[in-house]
Amino acid sequence: MNFKNINLVPAILMGVSAIAIILAVILFATYRGAGSRSDETAEIILWGTISQDKFNSVIQELSTEDDAFRKIIYFQKNPVSYEDELLKAIAEGTGPDLVLLNETQIISNQRRIQEIPYDSFPLRTYQDLFLDESKLLLTRTGILGFPFIVDPLVMYYNKDILNNNGFARPPETWTEILSIVPTLTNKDSSFNISRSAVALGSFDNITNAKQIYWTLMLQAGNPVTQRYFDEQNQIEKYSITLHDDLNFSLNPGYAATNFFVQFSNPTKTIYSWNKSLPSSQTAFVSGDLAFYFGFASELSNIRRINPNLNFDVALMPQSQSASRKLTYGKMDIFAIPRTSRNVTGAVNAISKLTSIKAQKAFTTALGVPSVRRDLVSTYGVASSYDEVFNRSAIIAQGILEPDSSSSSVIIKELIDTVVSGQYEITQALTRATQKLNATLYE
């Protein structure tokens, strides 16, 4: 048997895949939206909420080797007023050629986004090029946008707390979390907590509370929002699945909510968090929290606040019985407004900004993993942090929220009313589902 020939097979397949991607990018770059002018030499105005200093420093670096990057003019917008400003600019005909949105802004802006048909960028090529979370941008007929960066939720842990209590490694499952919470949490007979194992069970003082809750929902098997095709009206619509059983024997929304809130119940041995404590991020950097669920992009800030903190990172805990690992990932995407005055130029800019060279530069500057499959290998990475971040990016999923600010209020109310005993979990899920559905088409 000729082992040399066998070893050539993966390389040949990779080569064929690379050629297919290159051809698709060429086809994509020649795409022109209806009614748009073609001016590849004009400046491309890009709006987003990423740091302008960081973005422009990368653009300047890339421009030294490729002059095309100089045509991309980026403006940082205030996250609070960004969508309102964009809506007003589009209505007045003064909007940008290209925008950066996040995964929570897809539904609210879909009617303003120019969809790229699959004959301009094949579905198979898109899926081969980008991580799984990018499926949020795929409709029956085309692509709503192209991912730029992904910021996965991970578990930061205090090594000293674990070491001092005889734990050589961080927990990998929620079952393990449950088993060690009583040991790692310090509380007195009046239930005053001086050190907590984990921050779960409330909303106000838990950093990233909604995204942690979304992670539990996704791991339980509930996507929260589903896209479907309305055959009668021949349009795509969305529905909220928060309270649906989705053919599971145990309702996933109920399971996720029940798990989340139990850590704030003083009658349970796993009681470890309450509203009187500081924010979970503050508690962690102060050395008073064993496990903190934060995003990859928070690493530099944690180091800056407490350079002496002995900590590390690991994947988010998983369900012990699950066959598929999941975490939540924030994702920034490039989308072309329907009113873009230079669609061809915008498309060329996307092609440049998602190239290997650009992705390496941006992910380094922003401290997050790449959205490209060929750049998130868990082998040969620069540090242990990078390996965990890359592995987390590969398993990251997102949720199509109707409106991010509204959903935050609704989920906070859901958790608060369950913790206070005002509603049973099933009642709270039903009320939250009704409210989220009402925001879908406002």
Question: Which residues of the chain are in CATH 3.40.190.10 domains?
Answer: 3-150+331-391, 152-328+399-439
Sign of CA dihedral 413, 416, 421, 425: positive
Q: Determine the pLDDT at residue 379.
A: 56
Q: Determine the pLDDT at residue 16.
A: 39
CB 133 within 8 A of CB 346: no
- pLDDT tens profile 73-115: 999 999 999 999 999 998 888 999 999 999 999 999 999 999 9
Cα distances (Å, whole numbers) of residue 30 to 34, 115, 119, 265, 342: 13, 15, 12, 59, 12
- pLDDT tens profile 273-329: 999 999 999 999 999 999 999 999 999 999 999 999 999 999 999 998 888 999 999
Three-state DSSP string of 360-422: HHHHHHHCCCECEHHHCCCCCCCCHHHHHHHHHHHHEECCCCCCHHHHHHHHHHHHHHHHHCC
Q: What is the maximal distance between C-alpha atoms in the chain?
A: 73
- pLDDT tens profile 338-356: 999 999 999 999 999 999 9
CB 178 within 8 A of CB 270: yes
In the chain, the amino acid numbered 409 is: V
Q: Determine the pLDDT at residue 28.
A: 61
CATH (residue range 3-150+331-391): 3.40.190.10
- pLDDT tens profile 209-231: 999 999 999 999 999 999 988 88
Dihedral pair phi/psi, residue 47, rounded to 5°:
-110, 150
Tokens found for residue 68: 């095309």
- pLDDT tens profile 20-79: 455 455 556 566 665 455 555 689 999 999 999 999 999 999 999 999 999 999 999 999
Which H or E element spans position 86?
helix 82-92
- pLDDT tens profile 122-170: 999 999 999 999 999 999 999 999 999 999 999 999 999 999 999 999 9
Is the pLDDT confidence value at 246 over 60?
Answer: yes
The band of 12, judged by pLDDT with boundaries at 50, 70 and 90, is very low
For domain 152-328+399-439, give the CATH superfamily. Periplasmic binding protein-like II (3.40.190.10)
What pTM, to 2 d.p., does this model score? 0.91
Q: Where is average pLDDT lowest: 5-19, 170-184, 413-427?
A: 5-19
The band of 234, judged by pLDDT with boundaries at 50, 70 and 90, is confident
Is residue 43 packed enough to be buried (19+ CB in 10 Å), middle (13-18) or exposed (0-12)?
middle
